[in-house]
Amino acid sequence: MLNAALAFPGTALSNVTAFQLLIAGGLLLGVAAFLLALSRERRVSMKRSVVTDELTVHTGRIAEALERIANQANERAHLAGSHKREQPEPERASEEAHHIAYSMFGR
């Protein structure tokens, strides 16, 4: 039934030998390798233009703004930490469970 469904006009699939299928597969792999080699030769390069210059300027402005925000947050945390009173930590009970750091493989 499978032979009848896959039959080509004038020939049946059962007339194709394993060696012929191997040769056809090899040829298909060769064509695919050739097409892949041709596609790698195409390279994309961006030339300097008004649009790329504008993108560079905007990206730089975004990076500077993010750095300012990060620095402000660090300064606020530092100032808040210096205004706090130094309070001694309460003593832990010896019966309290303590944290054991595991390596990545021990999890």
- Residue 106 above 80 pLDDT? no
The β-bridge partners of 11 are: 8
Q: Is residue 94 part of a domain?
A: no
Question: What is the secondary structure of 12-68 as a DSSP string?
Answer: -GGGS-HHHHHHHHHHHHHHHHHHHHHHHT----PPP-HHHHHHHHHHHHHHHHHHH
Whether residue 68 lies inside any domain: the answer is: yes
Encode pLDDT of 4-24 as tens digits.
555 555 655 568 889 999 999
Q: Provide the residue range defining the domain that includes 56.
A: 47-83
- Residue 66 is assigned to a structural domain of this protein: yes
| pLDDT higher than 80, residue 79 | no
Number of domains in the chain: 1
Residue 53 belongs to some domain of the structure: yes
Can you tell me the mean pLDDT for 58-66?
A: 94
Contacts of 3 (CB under 8 A, 6+ apart): 12, 13, 14
Indicate whether 74 belongs to any domain.
yes
pLDDT bin (cut points 50, 70, 90) of residue 72 is confident
